[in-house]
């Protein structure tokens, strides 16, 4: 399984149930790009990366408000 990893803060993107998981690397990478735009308002495609999720215990560390909806994030990415 693949997840969205925040390389700056060394955290997985998810919720109280654990990291968001994807079966396909390409889908996870697209989700990472959309998440970066939605949370940070940037589309650098370098801070959030698709990585294989290791088996370990998870805990919720923080909650962030979205700067853009996922649909608006996709529109902003496509407009660049």
pLDDT tens per residue across span 12-64: 998 888 899 999 999 999 999 998 988 888 766 689 999 999 887 566 677 77
Strands (E), 1-80: 2-6, 11-12, 14-15, 18-19, 21-22, 48-52
Provide the β-strand partners of residue 3.
21, 51
Q: Where do the domains of the chain lie?
A: 2-78
For the four alpha carbons of 43, 27, 31 and 34, in that order, the dihedral sign comes to positive
Q: Does the reported pTM lie above 0.85?
A: no
């Amino acid at each position: 399984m693949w997840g969205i990893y925040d390389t700056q803060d060394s955290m997985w993107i998810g919720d109280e149930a654990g990291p968001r998981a994807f079966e396909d690397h390409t889908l996870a990478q697209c989700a990472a790009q959309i998440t970066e735009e939605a949370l940070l308002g940037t589309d650098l495609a370098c801070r959030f990366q698709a990585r294989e999720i290791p088996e370990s215990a998870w805990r919720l560390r923080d909650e962030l408000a979205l700067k853009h909806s996922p649909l608006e994030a996709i529109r902003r990415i496509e407009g660049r």
